[in-house]
Amino acid sequence: DKETKTQLSLRVDTPIEKSLLIPLLSVLNESELYPTWLPSWKVPRMGIRKVQKLSQKGRVSQIIVVTVDVPWPLQTREVVISAVGVDDIDDRGEIVVRLHSLHTGDENGLVPPPDEKDGVIRIDFDGGFVFRKHVVNDDDDNVEIHASTEDLIMTSFQSSIDSKLNTLPKPLLNFVLRQAFGMMWSMLLRVAEEVRDGKRPEHAKAISAKREVLYDWVDERVGLMLEMK
């Protein structure tokens, strides 16, 4: 960001087994359940304060507001995210979830202003997920990949974040954000595994309720994706 100079770009690529895809998508898509797995602490006060869905469009496209408490003396951060799912399997063999932040008044006035009385600061975010078939080759040095008996799906996440934390030295900010992202990515995959293994009944209920309109459709399309050469 030209003003704050606090923009950070991140990318991660992780191959997952096919059986983990639906659980992972449910963790990402069921925004109402974010507070059940995203971490938060009372001392120091840090973590998810509120998640609000502003709209739902189609199977997976939605607009949500995520408010996060950060330790004093920093002010509460908030991001309004538009998530749009794209089935690009026929042309490129990919499923894409496009993410970008919205601002006050966007979407014909749907996006409300931040609560400035409470010191909430809106951050900027741009990124997304890409899911595509992963072909194992001799260059893969991951033992688990070679040991897997399932089809593998490469899960890629890329983002650019301006957290508006210009009061912190840039090297420290980059370190903190990268460490936080690494923890969040590991937690995301762990929660998805818990969903797959039946340890998250609320997610299982959400998958069951939307199976016909969403998750069965994803299974069908992913099966086609994995058959492609």
Per residue in 2-49, pLDDT (tens digit) is: 554 567 788 999 999 999 999 999 999 999 999 899 877 777 777 888
| Closest residue by Cα to residue 98 from 9, 187, 28, 196 | 28
96: nearest Cα among 81, 104, 85 = 85
Distance CA 164, CA 37 (A): 25
So what's the pLDDT on residue 1? 47
Q: Which pTM does this prediction carry?
A: 0.86
State the Cα–Cα distance between residues 19 and 92, nearest whole angstrom: 22
Whether 145 has a pLDDT exceeding 60, the answer reads: no
Three-state secondary structure call for residue 95: strand
∠ CA 100-60-87, nearest 5°, is 85
Helix axes 170-196, 21-29, angle to 10 degrees: 120
Across all residues in the chain, what is the average pLDDT?
87
In this prediction, residue 136 carries a pLDDT of 74
